[in-house]
Amino acid sequence: MESVLVTGGCGFIGRHVTEELLERGYKVRILDAFIDQVHGDTEAEVPQGAEIVRGDIRDKQVVFAAVEGMDAVIHLAAEVGVGQSMYEISRYVGVNDLGTAVLLEALIGGPARRIVVASSMSVYGEGRYQTATNEQVGQARRRADRIKMGQWNLQSADGKPLLPIATDEEKPVDLASIYALTKYAQEKQVLIFGEAYGVDAVALRLFNVFGAGQALSNPYTGVLANFASRLANGQPPMIFEDGEQRRDFVHVRDVAQAFCLALEKPKAAGHVINIGSGQAYTITQVATLLAEAMGVPHIRPDIMNKARSGDIRNCFANIDKARELLGFEPKHRLEHSLTPFAEWVRQTGAVDRAAEMKQQLEARGLVS
């Protein structure tokens, strides 16, 4: 494979993926809609050396032209945000699912022999859990009445606490948000298409991606970017629930490596693969580490003790499959990467829109 189309290639992850591909000697074409929520009022950064096609992933004419002559596709174009997806439903379903359908139709009969799609850890809902006696729980979900009473942690049917463990790809999906639904539909479309048309298809389930280049003024982007925007403006990070929920944070440079490996490794074809750090961090821990890195350790997080609709309690990655099929090994641990991230935030600046996001969700009854 010599030429690769990267949809969404001027977004946060897309720019890093494109740069990694160019460094490896690929010819890269980017299809990107340059939406305001991601890129804001400033001119979008365009990776040097890539061909740019400006257009919407739902536009058949643009997409059919973009895929022409491409040997492979990395499909990143998507609307991203659990909370926003719960009220801008048609927008998320349209871009994520219809957009993927248009792309796949354009690939029928074409030269592309591999497609890698960005899926999300959100498809799992809650991650893996086990009982105190080490028995794995097949499917765990919190009850709405318990959440409203501020009882955040999961319990078994007999009222005993469940312990979160690393989530592998065999864990059944449990779609708790419209965003999760659209990402699952994306990965299934791609895998079904690949099998039907003899195209190698890979779906990467990304955990919480962070790093320089995130859209700091987009309140629906990653939690770390939201915290950075608040801290940069002298405001405390807003944390829903009690802050003890756990997530996996993976550096965008490691994610870019994973996409390139998914293009190149024959064994990956037909598989869904977790891409994370393999580490678990509480959200309060992350906010505290970031405040220290940004030189404002006195700004303590604002613990909301309220829950957002669609949020889950714990999910962090088991990356054994990525190691086996891709040779993937994350190199940039969160605690070792926050100082350069903080320096980038200081140089970039950010508009804090977290309060606006909270108001939008509360107005629609999506915070309890």
CATH number of residue 185's parent domain: 3.40.50.720
Range of the domain at 143: 3-359
- Does residue 209 lie in a domain region? yes
Does 110 reside within a domain?
Answer: yes
pLDDT bucket at 41, cuts 50 / 70 / 90: very low
* Mean pLDDT, all residues of the chain: 90
Quick: pLDDT tens for 291-346. 999 999 999 999 999 988 768 899 999 999 999 999 999 999 999 999 999 888 88
First to last CA, the chain: 50
pLDDT at position 363: 66
**Strand, coil or helix: what is 339?**
helix
Residue 260 lies in a domain: yes
Nearest Cα to Cα of residue 255 among 334, 329, 339, 184? 329
Q: 66 in a domain, yes or no? A: yes
The answer to whether position 366 is within a domain reads: no
Residue 344 lies inside a defined structural domain of this protein? yes
Q: Is 159 left (phi over 0), alpha (psi -120 to 50) or beta?
A: left
pLDDT at 335: 92
In this predicted structure, the answer to whether residue 1 has a pLDDT above a threshold of 50 is yes
* pTM of structure: 0.91
| Residue 10 covered by a domain | yes
pLDDT of res. 42: 47
Q: Which residues are catalytic?
A: 179
Structural domains of the chain, count: 1
Q: Is the pLDDT of residue 358 over 70?
A: no
Does 367 fall in a domain? no
Residues 6+ apart with CB under 8 A from 43: none
CA–CA dist 2, 191 (Å, integer): 22
Which has the higher per-residue pLDDT, 222 or 121? 121
21-35 pLDDT, tens digit each: 999 999 999 999 987
pLDDT tens, residue by residue, 159-198 = 889 999 999 999 999 998 899 999 999 999 999 999 999 9
